[in-house]
Homo-oligomer: A and B are copies of this chain.
Amino acid sequence: MDRIRAAADSVASSLVERFHATRSLSEALAKPLSDADATIQSMADASPAKWHLAHTTWFWETFLLRDHRSGYDRFDERWAFLFNSYYEAEGPRFARAARGMLARPSLDEIRGWRGHVDAAMAPLLDRPELAPLIELGIAHEQQHQELLLTDIKHAFAQNPLGQAVYPQTLRPAHPKQSVGHRDGRGWREHSGGIVRIGHAGPDFAFDNEGPAHDVLLQPFALANTLVTNAEWAEFVADGGYRTPALWLSDGWAWVQGEGVEAPLYWRDDRWFTHEGWAMRDPQAPVTHISYYEADAFTHWAGARLPTEFEWEAAAVGCDRAAGNQLDTSGTVEPVGGTALFGDCWQWTRSAYLPYPRFRPAVGAVGEYNGKFMSGQFVLRGASCATPRGSSRASYRNFFYPHQRWQFTGLRLARDI
């Protein structure tokens, strides 16, 4: 994890530096994995670690090297088929649910490919007209870093041996902030009115964060802290998972169909972490919950989820680099605190839909966001697995309401 920290700390200044820091971080994250660890796929939603390392490399090889460096030959022609994710414009691709069959190429071969591509990228990194694409590639790889972390956690959790991804106990150096109890929960109020939402300006953002536009809000309040394990344990003990009146209809069907009784990775008073099975910290934020669970909790707690617009309005002036994000905390698990960002992605009650006058980016990279705009909910903030520096107030993460293998949590809101 020292390598992780070192790599992440260097996320800084120039595009060239950030390119290399990002590429290095991916490799640092995969450092403790064996070839077999990096090969398995625990469900169709998740991908092997090796696949993330390869797919991000495919992105650079395809949209930068193939398209913009004349004379570049692909490292291995056959791998484009294997490591395209979902870009229809890039032709057919290997079935997502079969990614776990790719024992070959080996992890070392993928690492070789990464080195090859990194070297080949050198002449492109200072071409100004390519800067936007390179920014996109960095942001893309950062997203896959988070997915690599959550996917490998899910994979390791399937193994009864319960081994750790990162075996060292990494937490002690991190002084835990004291967190308020629910009764004493603090609220930050917002008076509503017309607020500006969405990204504008020269910095990088995904196409789905714009265009910037005005939204009319009613007054509301947002909790100062995320809901904690202790609060969630009360919900469980109070029969929350057995009370249909608290649940959305689809949520209740999900609870019954899957036999859900607690957040993912909970077992008795322990939970599965990147460091193996551990006692749950009652004051740490609850995580690995579905939208259905988050919504049911709010009904039980007499509150509601915020909309993504309320959340963004509340984020004005907040430090997006604060809180527990991937690099300095010494852990890849939630710890708690009062920052708006970090620890867990926060479910909002907003469906993931286009902003007014939204237009997808042109070309294959335009398949990045727009085509997922049905059936999913927006999450805001950033998690303990989000590379610090990649989060921002306008960032829109999105997942289906039943998914919970990401570091998902919730922050209560209420009308005032």
Contacts and interface: CB of A to CB of B under 8 A. Distances in A.
B100 A40 contact: yes
A223 interface: no
Contact of A106 (B34, B213, B356): B34
A159 B249 contact: no
Given A292-B374, A374-B248, A100 B103 contact: no
A216 B218 CA distance: 12
Contacts of A89: 245
Given A100-B100, A350-B353, A371-B247, A160 B39 contact: no
Contacts of A38: 36
A375 interface: yes
A292 B373 CA distance: 11
Contact of A215 (B88, B216, B247): B216
Contacts of A81: 160
Contacts of A88: 244-245, 252
Copies in the complex: 4
A374 to B, nearest CB: 5
B36 A372 contact: no
A100 B37 CA distance: 11
B356 A349 contact: no
A351 interface: yes
B375 A250 contact: yes
Given A39-B39, A161-B78, A375-B401, A103 B155 contact: yes
A119 interface: no
Nearest to A42: B101
B374 A291 contact: yes
A357 B415 contact: yes
A81 to B, nearest CB: 6
Closest 7 CB pairs of A and B: A351-B351, A216-B216, A88-B244, A36-B39, A101-B158, A36-B103, A35-B36
23 contacts: A34-B35, A34-B103, A36-B103, A36-B107, A39-B40, A78-B161, A82-B161, A88-B245, A89-B245, A101-B159, A103-B156, A104-B163, A218-B356, A218-B357, A248-B372, A249-B371, A249-B372, A250-B375, A251-B374, A295-B374, A349-B353, A374-B377, A375-B401
